[in-house]
Copies of this chain bind each other. A is one copy, B any other.
């Protein structure tokens, strides 16, 4: 009989749904030493909570996260709330001896992240930052190819994250437009992903120069009570220097008309190159300088072979997986780590290091100058 891991999830919106789906499916695909139980869902908003519980069958509901993190029957706290609550919840959970997975960005700034990391380490619990894109098979394959030397010394890391839902001027003012509520706009939400992938695949960022932009400065409130000023960035672009000598170019925007969830990474190294796009997440483009000149070219690898990361548990070659599978892989890795009492990556340290870069970029954009990313 496997040990049960009782999960308490906090936050019943988009990410709450994606994580719930993962808990439903994970034990059917991962060979886990523990058994996850969808024990308690928690949200301040009773309607959202009803929807989540109704859809995914969480056993119990709870309106107060403070109570939830203190319950003896909970082993793992999964934080899917807005960013401003991450720190407080994560620290309380850790203090109560719960394992913690927290959505990205890890929190509002690096100082908060440092506290969270310290609390988790002190408590000796497993901690994970939910950078789910590391868990895409094509990205995991990219990492493997880089680690094996097939790309060589990396010279360039270029990343864009394009969405377009704000290009509509009638899209109403929401909390994400408010700098105080969200910390930033497209930046924290989208660059958090690409910065984490950069750290995962290339290494640490040492300095940045950034430019942010609000394209539509006022939006109507959805409740009809007039307009509000948009203070959080619609777009954030920045240049980066890496410790390893590579140079980086990052862009996040919600004004990329026609692109829905287009995260493109291009990596150029001394021996090869890689290219990836989230809208075709089952594919990885790979170029090798080892190939004969006559037949060199970018190979479009369909990352669905049994030999590819995470794919042995899924379907035969050519049968693609979707975006939601990244969460199954993420939660699977976490539960494996809990069961085997091993560490899991990406953890709060990764969340903290990402946050340092996020902070430096914001500071650079505000002050229009190059900013060093502090070392730990």
| CB-based nearest B residue for A168 | B289
**CA gap between A308 and B162 in the complex, in Å:** 21
| CB-based nearest B residue for A267 | B257
| CB-based nearest B residue for A304 | B260
**CA gap between A342 and B158 in the complex, in Å:** 43
Binds B, one of A59-67, A108-116, A223-231, A248-256: A248-256
* Copies of this chain assembled into the complex: 4
Check B21–A281 contact: CB distance below 8 A: no
| CB-based nearest B residue for A141 | B294
| CB-based nearest B residue for A216 | B270
Q: Given A163-B318, A289-B257, A296-B258, A245 and B369 touching (CB < 8 A)?
A: no
**CA gap between A187 and B120 in the complex, in Å:** 47
Identify A156's interface contact among B235, B266, B297, B369, CB under 8 A: B235
Interface residues of A in 306-329 (CB under 8 A from B): 307-308, 315-325
**CA gap between A267 and B262 in the complex, in Å:** 15
- Does A24 have its Cβ within 8 Å of any Cβ on chain B? yes
A341 to chain B minimum Cβ distance, whole angstroms, is 24
**CA gap between A300 and B150 in the complex, in Å:** 19
Find chain B residues with CB under 8 A from A45 CB: none
- Does A167 have its Cβ within 8 Å of any Cβ on chain B? yes
| CB-based nearest B residue for A364 | B209
Check B295–A145 contact: CB distance below 8 A: yes
| CB-based nearest B residue for A270 | B167
A176 to chain B minimum Cβ distance, whole angstroms, is 13
A40 to chain B minimum Cβ distance, whole angstroms, is 18
Check A156–B321 contact: CB distance below 8 A: no
Find chain B residues with CB under 8 A from A299 CB: 291, 295-300
- Does A261 have its Cβ within 8 Å of any Cβ on chain B? yes
Check B255–A211 contact: CB distance below 8 A: no
A68 to chain B minimum Cβ distance, whole angstroms, is 22
- Does A99 have its Cβ within 8 Å of any Cβ on chain B? no
Check A237–B237 contact: CB distance below 8 A: no
Check B287–A258 contact: CB distance below 8 A: yes
Check B307–A297 contact: CB distance below 8 A: no
Most B CB within 10 A of own CB, among A169, A241, A255, A305: A255
| CB-based nearest B residue for A287 | B258
- Does A280 have its Cβ within 8 Å of any Cβ on chain B? yes
A252 to chain B minimum Cβ distance, whole angstroms, is 11
Most B CB within 10 A of own CB, among A56, A145, A156, A162: A156
Check B297–A302 contact: CB distance below 8 A: yes
**CA gap between A272 and B211 in the complex, in Å:** 23
- Does A247 have its Cβ within 8 Å of any Cβ on chain B? yes
Q: Given A237-B239, A300-B297, A320 and B273 touching (CB < 8 A)?
A: no
Find chain B residues with CB under 8 A from A39 CB: none
- Does A28 have its Cβ within 8 Å of any Cβ on chain B? yes
A263 to chain B minimum Cβ distance, whole angstroms, is 9
- Does A91 have its Cβ within 8 Å of any Cβ on chain B? no
Check B18–A24 contact: CB distance below 8 A: no
Q: Given A237-B239, A300-B300, A160 and B163 touching (CB < 8 A)?
A: no
**CA gap between A160 and B251 in the complex, in Å:** 13
**CA gap between A155 and B209 in the complex, in Å:** 20
- Does A14 have its Cβ within 8 Å of any Cβ on chain B? yes
- Does A366 have its Cβ within 8 Å of any Cβ on chain B? no
Q: Given A245-B215, A302-B279, A319 and B315 touching (CB < 8 A)?
A: no
- Does A25 have its Cβ within 8 Å of any Cβ on chain B? yes
- 9 inter-chain pairs at a CB distance below 8 angstroms, sorted by A residue, are A14-B316, A144-B294, A167-B270, A238-B239, A257-B289, A279-B282, A295-B301, A297-B301, A322-B325
